[in-house]
Chains A and B, each alone.
Chain A
């Protein structure tokens, strides 16, 4: 009996290996976990409203997605990859080397990063410089050197603030949100110090270490990738602040409030027009060689770039995506439809 079981297992393994060579009839999408909620919403609607199979969407992170995407052409490789940043020049080169020649870039909208606290407490009005002073590991000591961040309360950062302990819950280093926060908020605040700005030209790695380094003495608390958990902790702890994507703020607006950054509140409109400083663009990339081979790719792009999906009133806005301005949306949709290949990014 055991013999037959082993034989069956082996046969099964061989059989499934051979099915691998078969063509794929559903779109295969990989990439950023930030774009994942939007991509899956489109995939589901696409599967429901057309005769094509529902695409498979894998959450691999932007970098991991581009690596898989650029690995080659063929049914084993993904057709589309989502990214919460632009493709890098080095990634584009890898794509070219592996035969992935024509790539269509589609910019889909913006994502804002909010710094929020409980509604039971007052709303903060922070500048990027204050965020840097509160959260950086090392700050300038005023004598040309650096010292370990001595600020313990918000009052130390700005005398106008209450003397609450600095307690900020945020994502761990593996998260794309953390990267974007470091790049947009921390570096933005860091650049306001002329001595650090000068450092960028002389010692780039030191500059990056100073600007992107977050405190490790307990003021910045890594709360895991789960943004829902951060929201719950903010509701319980009124003096803490939390860092998460705008969609979570949007869903929990009755419990938490987003701090003003440089005087601008994180709202749909302020992120859309670019006045809210901590926001980034989201993209997806299409492998042109797969269009026509894998059924439905053009229709998927059409669904994603339709007004009912990515428009300001569309269902992706309901999921927290901030739409592109009208004119840009129209031009991106046009070039996406024509599958215009991108040139090498910087």
Chain B
């Protein structure tokens, strides 16, 4: 600490200590303040995250349950399968709405005129017959018997049971009138109304009816898109990084390429969408709204991220590894593939997974290439029309039916769960395989 060459120090050694002592308190206070500000910044960030999650979860958790009513439905053979063949085609096509309505009417014998009947019928979801049909196809022995079935209700009734409709509002301003509320209350007293786990949400494609809308279609679309984007971008990205980092001569051209890759990583994603529209759809004629074209666009978008992270991973492998390999007689190619690449792989994979998570949550470029579409059927391949999770969220958020509000939040929760899993995988990979030198 003391510096003998400075005369002032040697002449007044005590005064230096005094100065230090006097400022010590101030310096400690400064540090405390800095720590406090830092903690406050983290705290503020966490509060916003908690607010966001709290809002989404509090709005969306009800979507995982769906209201059903239990009705004893008689599936008479005359109506369902008059020829008695039990042919799956006949069973699937049969009219199941009539027996469901008949059963519901038994509970309310006072309903006689056509208008009131229509209102009573509106309690049942338009998708209920189809669901009942699927049960019958799975078990043809049900034909000719009477069973208690859980019947799907309309989204307005679902909202009522979940408490989203204000019963005190004037009748004319409500989607559900007093009469229907009375019927539902009566069924509820008999224990025939229940909220059950919403399997439809996970097994069906989208629908215009909130109670029939599911995310299976969007999930499969996202799955196909990401798989294809991964198989395209990972080898190309790693290959490019390896060449640029290890083999390419350092000259003006490679500098230019490097600057451009860094630039591309910062280009707004919508630009890639426009590029995809002009080049892939316009020039190569790749079909619109398919996972194929989405994957091509997302590959372009994630490539710079993967190349940059892969190069960083290669740089972190110490030169001694390369020198040792070359020293024992390995060729440059063997050096890279046998020694450098395996050591850099965890870093590359982490970068790739983060790039894929980015691609999973991307909406803007996909709007340009026709992914913002209403597609009911769950896609079965790379060239089937499809949509992806974030676009599905966008579409539902824009739907007027109130049932879609909770389903939007639920879809966001599913998307967040997948993002969380992917990021967790990246962290685990790094923990498991990372080497420190």
A-to-B contact residues, CB < 8 Å: 2, 5-6, 8-9, 12-13, 16-17, 19-20, 26, 33, 36-37, 39-41, 43-45, 47-48, 53-54, 56-60, 76, 119, 225-228, 245, 247-248, 250-255, 257, 315, 319-320
B397 lies within 8 A of A40 (CB): no
B284 interface residue per 8 A CB criterion: yes
Contacts A16-B292, A56-B375: A248 and B166 contacting too (C-beta < 8 A)? no
The chain A residue sitting closest to B292, CB to CB, is A16
The chain B residue sitting closest to A42, CB to CB, is B208
Q: Give A293 Cβ to nearest chain B Cβ, in Å.
A: 17
A17 lies within 8 A of B374 (CB): no
Main secondary structure of the interface of B (DSSP, over half): loop
In chain B between 337 and 359, which residues have their CB closer than 8 angstroms to a CB of chain A? Answer: none
Q: Give A296 Cβ to nearest chain B Cβ, in Å.
A: 14
Contacts A20-B285, A254-B165: A54 and B232 contacting too (C-beta < 8 A)? no
How does the 8 Å CB contact mask read for B363-389 relative to A, with 1 for contact and 0 for none? Answer: 000000010111111000011010000
Task: Find A58's partner among B165, B236, B370, B397 (CB 8 Å cutoff).
Answer: B370
B27 interface residue per 8 A CB criterion: no
A228 lies within 8 A of B397 (CB): yes
B172 contacts across to A, CB distance below 8 A: 253
Q: How far is the CA of A56 from the CA of B371 in the complex (A)?
A: 11
B-to-A contact residues, CB < 8 Å: 126, 130, 165-166, 169-170, 172-175, 207-209, 228, 231-232, 235-236, 238-239, 284-290, 292, 370, 372-377, 382-383, 385, 395, 397-402, 405
Q: How far is the CA of A26 from the CA of B372 in the complex (A)?
A: 17
B207 lies within 8 A of A12 (CB): no
B397 lies within 8 A of A9 (CB): no
Q: How far is the CA of A184 from the CA of B237 in the complex (A)?
A: 53
Contacts A48-B130, A228-B397, A228-B398: A58 and B372 contacting too (C-beta < 8 A)? yes
Contacts A9-B232, A40-B208, A41-B208: A251 and B286 contacting too (C-beta < 8 A)? no
Q: How far is the CA of A248 from the CA of B130 in the complex (A)?
A: 29
A59 lies within 8 A of B235 (CB): no
Q: Give B421 Cβ to nearest chain A Cβ, in Å.
A: 23
A37 contacts across to B, CB distance below 8 A: 208, 399-400
Q: Give B83 Cβ to nearest chain A Cβ, in Å.
A: 20
Task: Find B398's partner among A6, A41, A47, A227 (CB 8 Å cutoff).
Answer: A227
A13 contacts across to B, CB distance below 8 A: 292
Q: How far is the CA of A227 from the CA of B399 in the complex (A)?
A: 8
Q: How far is the CA of A39 from the CA of B399 in the complex (A)?
A: 13
Q: Give B127 Cβ to nearest chain A Cβ, in Å.
A: 8
B374 lies within 8 A of A57 (CB): yes
Q: How far is the CA of A56 from the CA of B228 in the complex (A)?
A: 22
B377 lies within 8 A of A54 (CB): yes
B374 contacts across to A, CB distance below 8 A: 36, 39-40, 43-44, 56-59
B372 contacts across to A, CB distance below 8 A: 58-60
Q: Give B65 Cβ to nearest chain A Cβ, in Å.
A: 21
Main secondary structure of the interface of A (DSSP, over half): helix
Q: How far is the CA of A249 from the CA of B100 in the complex (A)?
A: 32
The chain B residue sitting closest to A252, CB to CB, is B402
Q: Give B356 Cβ to nearest chain A Cβ, in Å.
A: 15
A254 contacts across to B, CB distance below 8 A: 165-166, 169-170, 173-175
Most chain A Cβ neighbours within 10 Å, of B287, B376, B397, B400:
B400
Most chain A Cβ neighbours within 10 Å, of B169, B172, B385:
B385
The chain B residue sitting closest to A51, CB to CB, is B93
B235 contacts across to A, CB distance below 8 A: 2, 5-6, 9
B373 lies within 8 A of A76 (CB): no
Q: How far is the CA of A247 from the CA of B404 in the complex (A)?
A: 14
A-B interface, 9 closest residue pairs, ranked by CB to CB distance from nearest: A254-B169, A57-B374, A253-B173, A58-B373, A40-B374, A54-B376, A41-B208, A247-B400, A254-B173
B400 contacts across to A, CB distance below 8 A: 37, 227-228, 245, 247-248, 250-251, 319-320
B238 contacts across to A, CB distance below 8 A: 2
Q: Give B345 Cβ to nearest chain A Cβ, in Å.
A: 12
A20 lies within 8 A of B208 (CB): no
Name 8 extra pairs, CB < 8 A, besides A17-B285, A226-B397, A315-B126: A9-B235, A16-B383, A58-B289, A59-B373, A59-B395, A60-B370, A254-B170, A255-B169
A54 contacts across to B, CB distance below 8 A: 375-377
Q: How far is the CA of A6 from the CA of B232 in the complex (A)?
A: 7
Q: How far is the CA of A259 from the CA of B126 in the complex (A)?
A: 34
B289 contacts across to A, CB distance below 8 A: 56, 58
Q: How far is the CA of A252 from the CA of B175 in the complex (A)?
A: 8
Q: How far is the CA of A12 from the CA of B230 in the complex (A)?
A: 13
A44 contacts across to B, CB distance below 8 A: 207-209, 374, 376
The chain B residue sitting closest to A38, CB to CB, is B208
Task: Find B401's partner among A12, A16, A251 (CB 8 Å cutoff).
Answer: A251
A252 contacts across to B, CB distance below 8 A: 402
A16 lies within 8 A of B231 (CB): no
B175 lies within 8 A of A253 (CB): yes
Q: Give A303 Cβ to nearest chain B Cβ, in Å.
A: 14
Q: How far is the CA of A320 from the CA of B239 in the complex (A)?
A: 54
B373 lies within 8 A of A319 (CB): no
B373 lies within 8 A of A20 (CB): no
A255 contacts across to B, CB distance below 8 A: 166, 169
Contacts A247-B400, A248-B400: A17 and B377 contacting too (C-beta < 8 A)? no
The chain A residue sitting closest to B377, CB to CB, is A54
Q: How far is the CA of A257 from the CA of B169 in the complex (A)?
A: 12
Q: How far is the CA of A226 from the CA of B166 in the complex (A)?
A: 23
Task: Find B231's partner among A5, A119, A226, A319 (CB 8 Å cutoff).
Answer: A5
A5 contacts across to B, CB distance below 8 A: 231, 235
Q: Give A287 Cβ to nearest chain B Cβ, in Å.
A: 16
Q: How far is the CA of A137 from the CA of B154 in the complex (A)?
A: 45
Task: Find B385's partner among A33, A47, A56 (CB 8 Å cutoff).
Answer: A56
Q: Give B181 Cβ to nearest chain A Cβ, in Å.
A: 13
A248 contacts across to B, CB distance below 8 A: 400
B170 contacts across to A, CB distance below 8 A: 254
Q: How far is the CA of A250 from the CA of B385 in the complex (A)?
A: 32
A33 contacts across to B, CB distance below 8 A: 398
Q: Give A25 Cβ to nearest chain B Cβ, in Å.
A: 12
| 24 A/B residue pairs, CB under 8 Å, sorted by A | A6-B236, A17-B285, A19-B383, A20-B287, A20-B383, A39-B374, A40-B208, A44-B207, A44-B209, A44-B374, A56-B373, A58-B289, A58-B370, A59-B395, A60-B372, A119-B169, A227-B398, A228-B400, A253-B173, A254-B173, A255-B166, A255-B169, A319-B208, A319-B400
Q: How far is the CA of A333 from the CA of B144 in the complex (A)?
A: 42
Q: How far is the CA of A28 from the CA of B400 in the complex (A)?
A: 23
B209 contacts across to A, CB distance below 8 A: 44
A315 contacts across to B, CB distance below 8 A: 126
